[in-house]
Amino acid sequence: MDIYKANSRPTDAGNPEYFTGMVMTDPINTAPDPARVRALRVSFSPGARTAWHTHPLGQTLYVVSGVGRIQQLGEPIQEILPGDTIWIAPGEKHWHGASPDNAMCHIAIHEALNGSNVDWMEKVTDAEYQKAD
């Protein structure tokens, strides 16, 4: 058993290669092999978002606070709110982040396949992001 005390692991800034705007991540769990589950809390400032990406084994998001947006490629942008749970199927190209005027925080849970839990792609353009307005 491993116990990680509150504030024992630092908050990290999201890599600007994969995020637009200010994004902060706090690790929850990276299970050792043979387990594959990984979880983190992700906080987005207003207008911040991920790049387009997929997950080899899917992803679950649980919105903790704020107002967010999520979009699957080819589908309309949807608003997400505290208490919403989103299942993203393996290989489904998508992005998620905060709304233009509100911050948003979610818990992201996914599994790694051969050591990888995400495949990053191009950034979401401002025009793509603003389609919900």
Provide the number of structural domains found in the chain: 1
Is residue 12 assigned to a domain?
A: no
The pLDDT score that the predictor gives to residue 11 is 93
Q: Judge whether 18 lies within some domain.
A: no
In this prediction, residue 33 carries a pLDDT of 81
pLDDT, tens digit (0-9, with 9 covering 90-100), for 97-128: 999 999 999 999 999 888 889 999 999 999 99
Q: What is the pLDDT of residue 4?
A: 87
Q: Is residue 20 part of a domain?
A: no
74 within some domain: yes
CA nearest to 65, candidates 106, 12, 109: 106
Which residues constitute the domain of residue 34? Answer: 26-130
Would 110 be classed as within a structural domain? yes
Residue 90 lies in a domain: yes
> What's residue 107's pLDDT?
98
Per-residue tokens: 107 = 């818990």
Q: Which segments of the chain have a pLDDT < 70?
A: 132-133
Domain membership flag for residue 47: yes
Domain harbouring 55, CATH code: 2.60.120.10
**73 CB-contact burial (10 Å; exposed 0-12 / middle 13-18 / buried 19+):** exposed
- pLDDT of amino acid 132: 63
Residue 77, in any domain of the structure: yes
